[in-house]
């Protein structure tokens, strides 16, 4: 089943219950693997050191009460019933919230945004308006006025993103390590680590080594594994409840939380760092929303995952309430409450469930890094799409092996659930705090609710999460430093890359060549024009880039058709194919200079080289056909915002053109080895190129409206240029801090950004554009 198609259609067409239940079933394997394995380590982490299991059972009842209400308030109330509604055209996650805010208040971090982007169909969906006069208008104007607030918002989103990446390191470690902890019951305390750590490492290496194959081949097994695991822990929970302590349900009362904190005091507060692990993986419900529907995720959690987890935790508490002689720092884990005859089968199921949960967070890490890269907040990396049918199944080699090495280092270095839990807990709760902060802004700016409601939201959920955050942060030296260190490194990488990219773009805008210079060169541009199409890559969406004057000055010849190509991301998850290109003309017609802006959403898949070439040529041909002799096509006024730079070209006319597959009544491009007549109807006319002993290219034109002579000649010339081939011309920028810059700026630009640029993928590799014939010309940028 095409999950993305179902999700998108579901927003405009009511989904059948069969579809919803199918998606709910599939979501169990993709979304809830991490959350469902939390019973493996919650009690063990909680009772590791700060509190001890006593005869009064006040500690175990208090922990159960905290677990119940935490699961009820955070995953169930906050995420299932509130946060899931804040989707970005069906997509979820930290960057989805940031993208929503970028569109409803002009706080976008992408420098080359245009007003034309606001006309995209996904930009203003769900009836949201860009200008409002409600109580949130003052907040919106404040955000748009002060650049420092925009930077704070960006840093906040990046912190949440970095913690998700950190969780991608910690979750596989703690899940797999806890799953194999059942081995400790069959050997002495002194020897179990010699077996447990190597086994966990072997499983982790195996898990990461299989990533490049993709999950679509074994993904059908994920849901049955997680369902089997949930049934297993709920059945064991029911058995323990009725066999050991049927009255354990009384501990669900909030009164036991008060008794717990009153007795344990500071130790109880510090133990909250272990309790919060019960909500590990809750963010996945929102982050993976793009693959499922909102209703399917709500049904799966409310009716399957939530009751199974509650029964599992109650069963463990019931068992422990009748067993007080267990060593609290060693055998108080999950497996001690499993009947002895079932421990080995349960161990096998737990390892499989841990692998499934780890797979979900690894795939999520790949996805969020792709989003960051698309929005200019992460260096370009190689992205491999492992499935042609399932959207979002990607593999990033550099990130995969980095995650594996970090996972192995943490597993071998910590070797116990306590410190792994401290590290994982801080990463989880930080992401939730960021989500709460961004959601409060979404409530005001996007949902147009009152500021008071947003304050109530952030006060209620923020207070709960801040309590857990403080309990995790206090354990900085006991493992909590790991997510902070990892997040700091990734945050520096992201911010340095974003800062350098922004400064480079500002230099491009300030160094644009005037149109008068171009007009002074004449139609030949002062050089020999040879056959072919030259694609000049630029980040600019208006004006003539300085790199072009550099080319004209240093090269003796240039192609007869020149295209200023800008491949940009916009703050929406997807751009419809019929809205893919913005095409315009630079200078008079006889110059044969065009501008083509290819727009992609941060979740879009870029086409391969051949398809991209065809779509690009067809979009220019369609622009020529529809332009008309008097330039009477609809205008798209081009402006940039977010950079604070003026002096834009006002004379460029831009037309929205879709890909060739969406132009049912437009020009069709056909490439053949011969010129046999394949179209015999009177409704189509053909413009053919002269006979040549090479690949033939032709445009198939609709019969109406009639095309004037000048447009036919221009199309003929474009067709000849296409036959001769395309060359991608790339300016290789060497960015340096300008003279007089501060020491920090010189370090950031000359060392940090330069290192990232030299070790990242170039545009011709990362953006899936033709790179067989690429010409690079170096140019120094002093920013």
β-pairing verdict for 113-114 and 640-641: antiparallel
pLDDT range class, residue 484, cuts 50, 70, 90: very high
pLDDT mean over 295-313? 93
| Cα–Cα dist 98/159, whole Å | 12
The lowest-confidence range among 163-167, 184-188, 397-401 is: 184-188
Three-state DSSP at 234 gives helix
The tokens for 17 are 């219950």
pLDDT range class, residue 227, cuts 50, 70, 90: very high
Global confidence as pTM: 0.81
| Cα–Cα dist 649/633, whole Å | 18
Position 616 pLDDT exceeds 70: yes
The tokens for 73 are 């308030």
Contacts of 630 (CB under 8 A, 6+ apart): none
Q: Which helix (H) or strand (E) holds 250?
A: none
Position 408 pLDDT exceeds 90: yes
pLDDT mean over 10-20? 63
pLDDT mean over 305-321? 93
Position 308 pLDDT exceeds 90: yes
Write b or e for each residue in 389-412: b if 16 or more Cβ atoms lie within 10 A of its Cβ, otherwise e: ebbbbbbbeebbeebbebbbebbe
| Cα–Cα dist 530/536, whole Å | 15
The lowest-confidence range among 36-50, 437-451, 608-622 is: 608-622
pLDDT range class, residue 12, cuts 50, 70, 90: very low
Judging by beta carbons within 10 Å of its beta carbon (0-12, 13-18, 19+), is residue 11 exposed, middle or buried? middle
Q: Per residue in 533-565, pLDDT tens?
A: 888 888 888 888 888 877 777 777 778 888 888
| Cα–Cα dist 87/95, whole Å | 10
- pLDDT in the model for residue 87: 82
Three-state DSSP at 561 gives strand
pLDDT mean over 632-640? 39
- pLDDT in the model for residue 477: 87
| Cα–Cα dist 705/711, whole Å | 12
| Cα–Cα dist 612/728, whole Å | 13
**Is residue 86 within 8 Å of residue 442, measured between CB atoms?**
yes
Q: What secondary structure, in 3-state letters, does 481-538 show?
A: HHHHHHHHHHHHHHHHHHHHHHHHHHHHHHCCECHHHHHHHCCCCCCEEEEEEEEEEC
| Cα–Cα dist 454/294, whole Å | 22
| Cα–Cα dist 4/23, whole Å | 11
- pLDDT in the model for residue 682: 35
Contacts of 553 (CB under 8 A, 6+ apart): none
Contacts of 455 (CB under 8 A, 6+ apart): 440
- Of residues 332, 359, 300, 430, the one with CA closest to residue 40: 332
Position 615 pLDDT exceeds 70: yes
Q: Name the CATH architecture for the domain at 33-128+138-499.
A: Up-down Bundle (1.20)
| Cα–Cα dist 586/588, whole Å | 7
| Cα–Cα dist 446/427, whole Å | 27
Q: Which helix (H) or strand (E) holds 427?
A: helix 417-445
Q: What are phi and psi of 527, to 5 degrees?
A: -140, 170
The lowest-confidence range among 153-167, 340-354, 611-625 is: 611-625
| Cα–Cα dist 375/267, whole Å | 44
Position 764 pLDDT exceeds 60: no
Of 227-236, 375-384, 575-584, 633-642, the range with the highest mean pLDDT is 227-236
The C-alpha R_g of the chain, in whole angstroms, comes to 29
Position 301 pLDDT exceeds 90: yes
The lowest-confidence range among 144-148, 455-459, 652-656 is: 652-656
- pLDDT in the model for residue 634: 39
Contacts of 406 (CB under 8 A, 6+ apart): 169, 486
DSSP symbol at 747:
I
Q: Per residue in 254-290, pLDDT tens?
A: 999 999 888 888 888 888 988 999 998 888 888 878 7
pLDDT range class, residue 431, cuts 50, 70, 90: very high
Q: What percent of the chain has pLDDT over 90?
A: 21
| Cα–Cα dist 712/692, whole Å | 20
Of 404-413, 526-535, 551-560, the range with the highest mean pLDDT is 404-413
Q: What are phi and psi of 357, to 5 degrees?
A: -65, -40
Three-state DSSP at 671 gives strand
Write b or e for each residue in 285-314: b if 16 or more Cβ atoms lie within 10 A of its Cβ, otherwise e: bbbbbbbbbbbbbbbbbeebbbebbbbbbb
| Cα–Cα dist 419/322, whole Å | 28
**Is residue 783 within 8 Å of residue 757, measured between CB atoms?**
no
User: What is the DSSP track for 302-355?
Assistant: IIIIHHHHHHHHHHHHHHHHT---S-TTTS-SSGGGS-GGGHHHHHHHHHHHHH
**Between residues 618 and 766, the one the model is more confident about:** 618
pLDDT mean over 594-622? 80
Cis peptide upstream of residue 12 (ω within 30 degrees of 0)? no
- What interhelical angle do 137-145 and 417-445 show, nearest 10? 110
Write b or e for each residue in 508-520: b if 16 or more Cβ atoms lie within 10 A of its Cβ, otherwise e: bbebbbeeeebee
Work out whether the CA dihedral 120, 122, 128, 130 comes out positive or negative: negative
Q: What percent of the chain has pLDDT over 70?
A: 79
The tokens for 604 are 């879009």
**Between residues 326 and 447, the one the model is more confident about:** 447
- pLDDT in the model for residue 435: 93
pLDDT mean over 503-512? 86
The lowest-confidence range among 167-181, 414-428, 471-485, 543-557 is: 543-557
Contacts of 121 (CB under 8 A, 6+ apart): 576, 579
- Of residues 695, 635, 639, the one with CA closest to residue 670: 695
Q: What are phi and psi of 138, to 5 degrees?
A: -65, -40
**Is residue 175 within 8 Å of residue 436, measured between CB atoms?**
no
β-pairing verdict for 384-385 and 394-395: antiparallel
pLDDT mean over 689-704? 56
Beta strands across the sheet bearing 668-672: 668-672, 696-702, 684-688
Q: Which helix (H) or strand (E) holds 691?
A: none
Of 144-153, 238-247, 509-518, 606-615, the range with the highest mean pLDDT is 238-247
The tokens for 398 are 């550099």
pLDDT mean over 170-178? 88
Three-state DSSP at 776 gives strand
Question: Domain coordinates of the chain in residue numbers?
Answer: 33-128+138-499, 512-627+697-782
Torsion of the alpha carbons at 93, 95, 101 and 103, rounded to the nearest 10: -120
| Cα–Cα dist 447/427, whole Å | 28
- pLDDT in the model for residue 289: 80
**Is residue 689 within 8 Å of residue 582, measured between CB atoms?**
no
Position 671 pLDDT exceeds 60: yes
DSSP symbol at 76:
I
Q: Give bridge partners of residue 88 from the DSSP assignment.
A: 91
Tally Cβ neighbours within 10 Å of residue 380: 18
- pLDDT in the model for residue 483: 92
Q: Which helix (H) or strand (E) holds 609?
A: helix 609-627
- Integer angstrom CA distances of residue 128 from 105, 294, 481, 544, 555: 12, 19, 41, 35, 50
**Is residue 75 within 8 Å of residue 282, measured between CB atoms?**
yes
| Cα–Cα dist 594/583, whole Å | 7
- Of residues 435, 395, 419, 531, the one with CA closest to residue 483: 419
Q: Give bridge partners of residue 63 from the DSSP assignment.
A: none
**Is residue 454 within 8 Å of residue 440, measured between CB atoms?**
yes
């Amino acid at each position: 089943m095409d999950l993305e198609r179902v999700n998108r259609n579901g927003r405009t067409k009511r989904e059948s219950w069969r579809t919803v239940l199918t998606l709910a079933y599939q979501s169990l394997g993709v979304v809830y693997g991490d959350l469902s394995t939390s019973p493996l380590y919650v009690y063990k982490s909680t009772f590791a050191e700060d509190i001890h299991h006593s005869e009064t059972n006040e500690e175990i009842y208090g922990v159960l009460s905290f677990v119940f209400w935490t699961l009820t308030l955070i995953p169930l109330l906050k995420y299932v019933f509130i946060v899931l509604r804040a989707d970005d055209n069906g997509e979820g996650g930290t960057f989805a919230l940031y993208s929503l805010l970028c569109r409803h208040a002009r706080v976008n971090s992408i420098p080359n945004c245009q007003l034309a982007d606001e006309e995209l169909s996904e930009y203003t969906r769900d009836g949201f308006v860009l200008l409002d006069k409600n109580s949130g208008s003052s907040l919106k104007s404040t955000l748009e006025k002060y650049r420092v607030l925009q930077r704070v918002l960006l840093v906040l989103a990046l912190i949440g993103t970095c913690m998700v990446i950190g969780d991608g390191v910690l979750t596989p470690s703690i899940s797999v390590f806890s799953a194999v902890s059942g081995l400790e019951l069959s050997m002495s305390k002194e020897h179990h680590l010699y077996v447990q750590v190597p086994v966990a490492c072997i499983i982790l290496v195996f898990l990461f080594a299989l990533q490049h194959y993709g999950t679509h081949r074994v993904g059908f097994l994920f849901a049955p594994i997680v369902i089997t695991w949930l049934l297993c822990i709920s059945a064991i929970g029911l058995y323990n409840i009725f066999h050991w302590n049927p009255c354990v349900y009384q501990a669900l009362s909030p009164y036991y939380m008060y008794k717990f904190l009153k007795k344990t005091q500071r130790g109880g507060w510090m133990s909250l760092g272990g309790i919060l692990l019960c909500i590990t993986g809750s963010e996945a419900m929102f982050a993976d929303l793009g693959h499922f529907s909102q209703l399917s995720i709500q049904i799966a959690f409310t009716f399957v995952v939530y009751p199974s987890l509650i029964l599992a935790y109650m069963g463990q508490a019931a068992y422990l309430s009748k067993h007080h002689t267990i060593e609290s720092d060693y055998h108080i884990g999950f497996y001690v409450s499993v009947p002895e005859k079932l421990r080995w089968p349960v161990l096998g199921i737990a390892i499989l469930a841990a692998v499934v949960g780890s797979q979900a967070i690894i795939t999520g890490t790949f996805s969020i890094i792709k989003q960051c890269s698309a929005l200019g907040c992460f260096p370009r990396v190689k992205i491999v799409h492992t499935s042609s049918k399932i959207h979002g199944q990607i593999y990033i080699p550099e990130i995969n092996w980095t995650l594996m090495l970090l996972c192995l280092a943490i597993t071998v270095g910590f070797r116990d659930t306590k410190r792994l839990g401290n590290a994982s807990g801080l990463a989880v709760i930080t992401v939730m705090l960021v989500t709460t902060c961004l959601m409060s802004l979404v409530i005001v700016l996007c949902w147009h609710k009152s500021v008071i409601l947003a304050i109530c939201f952030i006060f209620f959920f923020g207070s709960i999460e801040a309590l857990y955050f403080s309990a995790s942060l206090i354990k900085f030296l006991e493992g909590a430093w790991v997510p902070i260190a990892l997040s700091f490194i990734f945050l520096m990488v992201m911010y340095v890359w974003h800062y350098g990219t922004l400064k480079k773009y500002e230099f491009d805008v300030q160094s644009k060549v005037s149109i008068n210079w171009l007009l002074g060169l004449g139609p030949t541009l002062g050089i020999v024009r040879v056959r072919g199409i030259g694609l000049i890559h630029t980040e600019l969406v208006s004006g003539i880039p300085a790199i072009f004057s550099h080319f004209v000055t240093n090269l003796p010849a240039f192609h007869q058709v020149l295209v200023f190509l800008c491949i940009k991301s916009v703050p929406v998850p997807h751009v419809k194919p019929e809205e893919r290109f913005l095409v315009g003309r630079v200078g008079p017609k006889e110059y044969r200079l065009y501008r083509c802006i290819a727009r992609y959403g941060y979740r879009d898949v870029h086409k391969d080289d051949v398809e991209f070439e065809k779509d690009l040529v067809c979009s220019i041909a369609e622009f020529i056909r529809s332009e008309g002799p008097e330039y009477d096509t609809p205008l798209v006024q081009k402006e940039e915002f977010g950079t604070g730079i003026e002096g834009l070209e006002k004379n460029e006319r831009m037309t929205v053109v879709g890909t060739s597959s969406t132009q049912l009544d437009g020009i069709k491009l056909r490439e053949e080895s011969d010129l046999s007549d394949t179209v015999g109807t009177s409704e189509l006319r053909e413009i053919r190129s002269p006979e040549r002993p090479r690949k033939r290219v032709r445009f198939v034109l609709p019969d109406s409206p009639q095309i004037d002579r000048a447009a036919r000649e221009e199309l003929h010339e474009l067709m000849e240029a296409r036959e001769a081939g395309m060359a991608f011309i790339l300016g290789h920028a060497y960015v340096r801090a300008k003279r007089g810059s501060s020491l920090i700026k010189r370090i950031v630009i000359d060392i940090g950004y330069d290192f990232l640029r030299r070790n990242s993928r170039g545009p011709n590799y990362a953006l899936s554009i033709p790179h067989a014939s690429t010409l690079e010309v170096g140019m120094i940028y002093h920013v």
